[in-house]
Amino acid sequence: MVQLRNLRLALAVRELISQQRNGYASLQLLSKWRHEVGSNIEIGVFLKKYPHIFQIYVHPVKRNHCCKITQKMTNLIAEEEAVIRENETNIVQLLKKLLMISTNGTLNMHALWQVRRELGLPDDYRSSMLPKYPHDLYLESPDTLSLVSRDDELAVAKIEEWRNKEYTEKMAS
For the chain, what is the mean pLDDT?
84
Which pLDDT does position 71 carry in this prediction? 94
Classify residue 81: in a domain, yes or no: no
Domain limits for position 98: 87-173
Same domain, 133 and 163: yes
> pLDDT grade, residue 78 (50/70/90)?
very high
Classify residue 82: in a domain, yes or no: no
- Point out the domain boundary residue: 35, 51, 76: 76
**The overall pTM is greater than 0.75:** no
Q: At how many degrees (to 10) do helices 71-86 and 88-101 cross?
A: 60
CA-CA distance, 53 to 5, in Å (whole number)?
15
Amino acid identity of residue 120, one-letter, is G
Same domain, 91 and 51: no
> pLDDT grade, residue 25 (50/70/90)?
confident
- Point out the domain boundary residue: 47, 76, 105: 76
CA-CA distance, 32 to 130, in Å (whole number)?
35
CATH of the domain at 26: 3.30.420.610
